[in-house]
Structure 1
Amino acid sequence: MKYTTEIVVDVPREEFIKKMDDPENMKHWQQGLIGYEQLSTNPGQEGARMSLSYKMGKREMNLVETIIKRNLPDELYMTYDTKGVHNIQKNYFKEEGDKTRWVSETEFQFSGFGMKLMAFFMPGAFKKQSLKYMQDYKAFAEKGESVLNS
């Protein structure tokens, strides 16, 4: 399953990247994030891995993020892996005056039967969640609003 989402954030690209590149800021725009742990000695660089833990409703989910391509301020590619799911995320950051256009190409590959069923019957749920993270990042970057306060 593949889809593209995009949003314009009213901050200059340099500021956008600085806020996004700090893992301490993830808790302010990734609803449900419980914590993260760097698994590599080269955090933030190509090949670096990080463990992420989320609580979504009553479910806890652990993912491993791997940075595949880091060509900032223009692009950043990552993969996210958890049981039965491989997610490829290609992010592009375009300067538009004092604003930044964030375009995200997402691909989900499912190996588990349950996840394949969910993707088949509820493909919009995945895109909706991606867009929610983008909107929450926009609120954080522009106004300092945190999902921790909601």
Structure 2
Amino acid sequence: MKYTVSLEIGVPRDRVVQLLSEPEHLPYWLRGLVSHEPVNGVHGQVGTESRVVLRMGQQQFEATETITRLERDAPDGIVRYDRELTGAGMWNAARERLIETGPATTLWESENEYRFDSLPMRLGGFLMTGAFRKQSLQHMRDFQAFAENGTDVRTTDQ
């Protein structure tokens, strides 16, 4: 399953990169985050593996995140941040692109790919593509609200 979502943020790209790359900001916008801890490497560097725990409703999901690409000074000016998540029965690759669209605006494009180990999981993923897309966009909107207005998802209705 593959999909791409995008969102324009009313904040300069350098500030968006800073807010996304500093782990202390994650709880403010990553809804359901229980923990995000590097187990090998340094947060924000290629090759770093982190243990990620998210709570969705009554369920808790644990995965290993590996940063596979980080390009801040590309010749085309696009910041690229790629990562892979592996968890029970699934693999996800996320390719994030941050594009300066003006002096105070940034376009965030997020290309996502999911693979599932079992037939029931593959069928469920296929049937729930819309839910996966909706959740990705919700995380992006939560980040947008944090970056633009300082909104903390932990204090809003969930």
Deviation at 1:141, TM superposition (A): 0.4
Is 2:101 the partner of 1:96? yes
- Deviation digits for residues 84-131 of structure 1 (CA, Å, limit 9, x no counterpart): 110000010100111000001000011133321211222100000000
Distance of 1:90 and 1:31 partners within structure 2: 19
The one-letter code matched in structure 2 to 1:18 is Q
Per the alignment, residue 50 of structure 1 pairs with 50
**TM-score with structure 2 setting the length:** 0.91
Per the alignment, residue 106 of structure 1 pairs with 112
Per the alignment, residue 135 of structure 1 pairs with 141
Is 2:74 the partner of 1:69? no
What secondary structure is seen at the aligned counterpart in 1 of 2:151? coil
Per the alignment, residue 24 of structure 1 pairs with 24
Aligned counterpart for 2:89 among listed residues 66, 84, 101:
84
Distance of 1:44 and 1:4 partners within structure 2: 22
The one-letter code matched in structure 1 to 2:81 is L
What secondary structure is seen at the aligned counterpart in 2 of 1:137? helix
What secondary structure is seen at the aligned counterpart in 2 of 1:115? helix
Per the alignment, residue 76 of structure 2 pairs with none
**TM-score with structure 1 setting the length:** 0.96
After TM superposition, where is structure 1 displaced by more than 6 Å over at least 4 residues in a row?
Answer: none
Q: Structure 2: state its 5+ residue gaps.
A: 74-78
What RMSD over aligned residues (CA atoms) do the two structures have, in Å? Answer: 1.1
Deviation at 1:77, TM superposition (A): 0.4
The one-letter code matched in structure 2 to 1:149 is T
Aligned length: 150
Deviation at 1:26, TM superposition (A): 1.1
What secondary structure is seen at the aligned counterpart in 2 of 1:11? coil
Is 2:16 the partner of 1:10? no
